[in-house]
Amino acid sequence: MKQSRHHLGVAMALALSLAPLPAANAPAADGPRRPNILVCLADDWAWPHAGAYGDKVVRTPQFDRLAREGVLFTHAFCAAPSCSPSRAGLLTGQWPHRLAEGGNLNGTLPKRFQVYPDLLETAGYFVGLRGKGWGPGNAKAGGWTRNPAGPGFASFAAFLKARPKDRPFCFWFGSQDPHRDYEKGSGLRSGLKLEHVVVPPYLPDTPEVRSDILDYYFEVQRFDADVGEHLKLLQETGESENTVVVVSGDNGWPFPHGKTCLYDAGSRQPLAIRWPGRGQGGRTVDTLVSLTDLAPTFLEAAGLKPPPEMTGRSLLRLLDGQPLPGPNRVLLERERHAAVRRDDGGHPSGGLSYPARALRTSEFLFIRNFRPDRWPEGDPELFMQVGPFGDVDNGPTKALILARRDEPAIAPFFRLNFGKRPAEELYDLAKDPHQIRNVADQPAYGEVRKKLRAELDAWLKETGDPRLVKDDDRWDRYEYFFPRPPPGLNKK
């Protein structure tokens, strides 16, 4: 299993971080070469858990190196805090609500929605995938003969060996770190210290929670080491100077208040982009961007025009040091994650969704919960999978809160993270960066709430969100394909 790799990957990452990058080549006489594209995507890695963002505990030398040599984004967000719809949004450049079944976890992605790897392949790129691409779900049910992220390869080295010499490449490395389950105590055994952990205020500060966070950090470091191996191969093959490297995560960390939630802990992602020879490196960008912006960015980098249905915006202007036009905001959304809500109407799909939409600006987070009568993190009792409140992955932190929910010191964390939520939530980010105190009903925020509600409605109407056009709970009826992980693999 992957856990047996332990300290070797971290040591390799630290050594690789000291190796200098080659200088960028001048454009060829017949014009600039089309750049290669390398995407390294972690599974459940959240902002700000990287050294480049000021985290003093986790060690991420490869990500930090890319941030120094490229552009570090401080306000990048996934489209949905759930693996399948987030990855669908990244691949298609569209909001998940436009992707039918693609808006759910463990559904499918209909092939009528174009993905950037296919568009690049048609334009002459050599395309490949290692690890977790789009998913989890059933791609075949959507009409695909391969994963929407590309054909699979055993390794990046095998991909580079198979690549025709005269073709640019587009490669997706999809890690399964730091998705749960974790090897309990792996963080402590690696040398990380309990006393160094900063526990966010939405979690109880106990030794069990601190150790759980260290186990998560250990897998973040293992992902970072894998990124280093890919960068090393770029250098060894002479492709570093002509490759756009993107490193990010698909959604927030697998802790209460994180993954599946529209709060920053569930939706805000690390993001670094390095393109030697394009723009000035070592810059930090605070503009709010979405991972749906990556598909049009890659297409424009390859000299292609993004198709009109892509709602994402190319980030090339930001890479060149210029501002993006339009409002500084992103849309966040979610539909069905796990099969964890009983449907008394008898739908055979696998349970009810928890539909929500949000508008995130630099000052506020406004959330609309379309079905506030439902449990946001799943029914309190086991329905079909995971366990009680099954939209939160099982782990020591969740188990502690549920087991001690009646204790005065723990009860507030249970109510905050597992209780039902009102139809509207509003958070003042300057005063409440972790989005704990809902001010939607406070008179002082009445005008802000009204303004953001109108902006969210207009945006959803403009992008054709069925929740605004005809709120018919269609995501509840889409088929749910239960995951069946390969033997010996304990990651979903």
pLDDT in tens, 167-184: 999 999 999 999 999 999
At 24, the amino acid letter reads A
Mean pLDDT of 67-86: 98
Is the previous residue joined to 181 through a cis bond, with omega within 30 degrees of 0? yes
Distance CA 45, CA 334 (A): 18
Per-residue pLDDT reduced to its tens digit, 363-395: 999 999 999 999 999 999 988 788 999 999 999
pLDDT given for residue 153 in this prediction: 98
Mean pLDDT of 348-353: 76
Look at residue 24 and tell me whether its pLDDT is greater than 70.
no
pLDDT given for residue 349 in this prediction: 64
Look at residue 228 and tell me whether its pLDDT is greater than 90.
yes
* Tokens 């959240």 sit on residue: 46
Options 3.90.220.20, 3.40.50.1000, 3.30.1120.10, 1.10.630.10; CATH of 332-477: 3.30.1120.10
Look at residue 1 and tell me whether its pLDDT is greater than 60.
no
CATH number 3.30.230.10 given to 2-19+34-326: no
Q: Taking CA 89 as the corner, what is the angle to CA 315 and CA 379, rounded to the nearest 5 degrees?
A: 135
pLDDT given for residue 31 in this prediction: 45
pLDDT given for residue 33 in this prediction: 85
Look at residue 2 and tell me whether its pLDDT is greater than 70.
no
Averaged pLDDT score across all residues of the chain = 91
Residue 146: how many other CB atoms lie within 10 Å: 15
pTM: 0.91
Domain layout of the chain by residue ranges: 2-19+34-326, 332-477
- What's the sign of the alpha-carbon dihedral 41, 45, 47, 49? negative
Distance CA 348, CA 64 (A): 46
- In which band, very low, low, confident or very high, does the pLDDT at 32 lie, cut at 50, 70 and 90? low
- Which percentage of the chain shows pLDDT scores above 90? 84
Distance CA 319, CA 297 (A): 10
Distances 178 to 166, 185, 242, 319, 374 between C-alpha atoms, Å:
36, 14, 29, 28, 29
Look at residue 317 and tell me whether its pLDDT is greater than 70.
yes
For residue 229, the surrounding DSSP H or E stretch is helix 207-236
